[in-house]
């Protein structure tokens, strides 16, 4: 399964290496497609690939860390 999401990082989470931790904690492959990171916030377009159950668990984990997760329609990245 390949899922594309926007991750919105708050001032609290923007300095944490959460995408790195995601790849270490879960059997997923991540690909940053776009990113804008500032001192107080960050927005990352992330492609995450793995088994459906693991991808869903990884996205839930990000939300538990305080990251807002929104799905991206494929045409936004690919178009």
- Chain position carrying tokens 């459906």: 52
Residue 20 near residue 13, CB atoms below 8 Å? no
Digit-coded pLDDT (tens) for 45-76? 999 999 999 999 999 999 999 999 999 876 44
Residue 35 near residue 45, CB atoms below 8 Å? yes
Residue 48 near residue 29, CB atoms below 8 Å? yes
Report the C-alpha gap between 8 and 53 in whole angstroms: 22
- 78 pLDDT above the threshold of 80: no
Digit-coded pLDDT (tens) for 14-40? 999 999 999 999 999 999 999 999 999
pLDDT of residue 50: 96
What CATH number did the domain enclosing 68 receive?
3.30.70.260
For the full predicted model, state whether its pTM sits above 0.75: yes
Range of the domain at 68: 2-78
What is Dmax (Cα atoms) for the chain?
Answer: 34
| Tokens matching residue 67 | 């990251």
Tell me how many domains the chain contains: 1
């Amino acid at each position: 399964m390949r899922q594309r999401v926007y991750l919105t990082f708050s001032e609290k989470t923007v300095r944490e290496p959460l995408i790195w931790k995601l790849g270490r904690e879960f059997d997923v492959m991540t690909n940053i497609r776009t990113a804008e990171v500032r001192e107080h916030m960050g927005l990352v377009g992330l492609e995450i690939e793995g088994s459906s159950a693991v991808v869903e668990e990884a996205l839930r984990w990000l939300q538990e860390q305080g990251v807002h997760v929104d799905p991206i329609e494929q045409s936004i990245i690919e178009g």
